Amino acid sequence: MAADTLVIERLNRTFSSPAGDVAALSNIGLKVKKGEFITLIGPSGCGKSTLLKIVAGLDSDYSGTVLLNDKPIEGPSIEKGFIFQEPRLFPWLTVEKNIAGNLSLKDPKVRAKVDELVALVRLKGFEKSYPRELSGGMAQRVSIARALLRNPEVLLLDEPFGALDAFTRAHLQEVLLDIWQKNRTTMLFVTHDLDEAVFLAERVVIMNPRPGHIRTVLPIDLPFPRKRASQSFQELRRKVLSEFEKVEEPAVDHDHGAGI
């Protein structure tokens, strides 16, 4: 049995505002094994980004336990790579300099690592290009490479492919799975795309809002590479979907007087 890389217990996060308190996260519990691929799915406002920010060390205003390798999260660190929906590259730096960050490419070790990452995200030949010369998908691959530079323990991805067209998105999913299979980095991947959640994950965490909580965790017991058109894939997709439909029913019942 692999060790738990991430342990979350009784996690609560409330935002206070003049209009009242918002329970962004309520009693979240989740254990993630080393090397596991987890997708978090749920409608807008269910606390996905809040959860990711807490794990990233970008938000410490919570109650409960969040441990990375048995240690409480204390601010951002190289153990946690974060990838946002938009690539956030420096426009005045080349691809390779964006990846190297504040490390010098004159250092042979850094040079070798950057070259390895460029190959991993399939950007050979674009090392000297600038962000404006890249497509959205290529730019996002640069940001993935940058996040991998210091061999993070966990990669936190907040709807990283949300702004991309369907074909580019599918391609980047393949690239990410390839990286995961080579590096075995633990992945926490937020999406609101059902197909994406099922295609990538070993377990899908289904969240619901008001208050943000985990409704259920579904194992996706399909071998890689997966086929979206396969019956087993479609069955699991339906299973995830039905978890959302279950939640919406009571609201409809209240509004329209069910059972009549």
Ligand X SMILES: Nc1ncnc2c1ncn2[C@@H]1O[C@H](COP(=O)(O)OP(=O)(O)O)[C@@H](O)[C@H]1O
Which residues bind to ligand X, rule: CB under 6 A? Answer: 15, 17, 22, 24, 42, 44-50, 212
Instruction: Extract long-range pairs of 101-109: CB within 8 Å, 24+ residues apart.
Output: 101/146, 101/149, 103/149
Closest by Cα among 17, 15, 25 to 64: 25
Stretch that binds Mg ion, among 32-40, 44-52, 126-134, 205-213 (CB under 5 A): 44-52
Instruction: State whether residue 5 is helix, strand or coil.
Output: strand
Task: Answer yes or no whether residue 50 interacts with Mg ion by CB under 5 A.
Answer: no
Q: How far is the CB of 192 from Mg ion (least distance, A)?
A: 8
Q: Which does 50 bind (CB under 5 to 8 A by kind): ligand X, Mg ion, none?
A: ligand X
Closest by Cα among 242, 187, 240 to 218: 240
Q: Which residue is nearest to Mg ion (CB)?
A: 49
Task: Answer yes or no whether residue 49 interacts with Mg ion by CB under 5 A.
Answer: yes
Number of neighbouring beta carbons within 10 Å of residue 16 = 9
Q: For residues 111 and 56, give the distance between their C-alpha atoms in angstroms, rounded to a whole number.
A: 27
Q: Which does 22 bind (CB under 5 to 8 A by kind): Mg ion, ligand X, none?
A: ligand X
Tokens of 208: 């619901």
Q: Which does 152 bind (CB under 5 to 8 A by kind): ligand X, Mg ion, none?
A: none
- The amino acid at residue 145 is A
Task: Answer yes or no whether residue 39 interacts with Mg ion by CB under 5 A.
Answer: no
Q: How far is the CB of 187 from Mg ion (least distance, A)?
A: 17
Q: Which does 45 bind (CB under 5 to 8 A by kind): Mg ion, ligand X, none?
A: ligand X
Interface residues with Mg ion (CB under 5 A) are: 48-49
